[in-house]
Amino acid sequence: MAVAFSAPGRPVPPAVPTSERSMQRFLLTVDKLSTLVGHAFSFLIVLLTLHVSWEVFSRYVLNNPRAWAFDGMIMLYGTLFMMAGAYTLSKNGHVRGDVLYGFFEPRTQATIDLILYFLFFIPGVFALTYAGYFYAAESWAINEHSNITADGPPIYPFKTVIPIAGAFLLLQGIVEIIRCIICLRDGAWPSREEDVEEVDVDKLKAMVTHHEEDNAARTTDQNKALFLKNKQ
């Protein structure tokens, strides 16, 4: 079989099939969508901080508390929590017991993930989305308001977030299932959309160790050169 070579005589890597490129483009597109939604709703943290800070100031300094402040805090935090689900899943950031999981081969990890997705994730998130739709529709129909206070704020916009967040989470879950199938076929996890990540302690230790080894080697070379110079 003839092998094609590039200019300096290096073999040309085999072309990636169009279907695989399209699939990878689809996976990364959904990742980008989840990332965009997560970043957009992350600004609710700022709004929530300002809301709580102003309420504390208004209550204890101005002596003018607002009855709807607690409802507003719950709705802001709940919206942030729900809409961050798909984003966190796209970054593989949900909490898991990976004491043994991290030592498994990629195919074993993909097998475990695939089983758990079909047993728990898909039924649970589908139920959340399906039931959440009727939950929100009923809230809109009765013009539902919070009953914590006498004149509570409307909560039907907040309940609308439930099926929307479920839909994004279900879409990202389908992408993760496809990644598991690809990993089972190829033996390696496909790439993800990159984003800001927490500091990897192991990588940080490796960088520090490498830096110390370089300094030690440099010091050794300097000592050898000084010894040879004094010997001459």
pLDDT tens for residues 43-101? 999 999 999 999 999 999 998 888 888 899 999 999 999 999 999 999 888 877 777 88
Instruction: Encode pLDDT of 13-35 as tens digits.
Output: 555 567 788 888 999 999 999 99
Distances (CA, A) of 170 to 96, 111, 163: 19, 19, 10
Rounded Cα–Cα distance for residues 61 and 74 (Å): 23
Q: Is the residue at 101 inside a domain?
A: yes
Q: Is the residue at 161 inside a domain?
A: yes
Rounded Cα–Cα distance for residues 176 and 84 (Å): 16
Q: Is the residue at 165 inside a domain?
A: yes
Q: Is the residue at 107 inside a domain?
A: yes
- pLDDT score at 218: 72
82 C-beta neighbours (distance < 10 Å), count: 20
Distances (CA, A) of 214 to 132, 211, 217, 225, 231: 58, 5, 5, 17, 26
Rounded Cα–Cα distance for residues 59 and 53 (Å): 10
Asked whether residue 102 carries a pLDDT value surpassing 60, the answer given is yes
Residue 86 structural domain: 22-193
Q: Is the residue at 199 inside a domain?
A: no
Tokens 């490796």 appear where?
206
**Is this prediction's pTM over 0.85?**
no
Half-sphere exposure at residue 208, Cβ-oriented, CA atoms within 13 angstroms: 6
Give the number of residues written for the chain: 232
Distances (CA, A) of 29 to 23, 24, 195: 10, 8, 14
How many domains are contained in the chain? 1
Provide DSSP, the chain.
----B-TTSPBPPPPPPHHHHHHHHHHHHHHHHHHHHHHHHHTHHHHHHHHHHHHHHHHHTS----TTHHHHHHHHHHHHHHHTHHHHHHTT-S----TTGGGS-HHHHHHHHHHHIIIIIHHHHHHHHHHHHHHHHHHHHTT-B-SSSTTPPB-HHHHHHHHHHHHHHHHHHHHHHHHHHHHHHHSSPPP---------HHHHHHHHHHHHHHHHHHHHHHHHHHHHHHH-
pLDDT classification of 213: cutoffs 50, 70, 90: low
Asked whether residue 166 carries a pLDDT value surpassing 90, the answer given is yes
Q: Is the residue at 216 inside a domain?
A: no
- pLDDT score at 132: 95
- pLDDT score at 228: 65
Q: Is the residue at 224 inside a domain?
A: no
CA 86-88-89 angle, to 5 degrees, is: 65
- pLDDT score at 96: 74
**Residues 147-156, mean pLDDT to the nearest whole number:** 85
Q: Is the residue at 9 inside a domain?
A: no
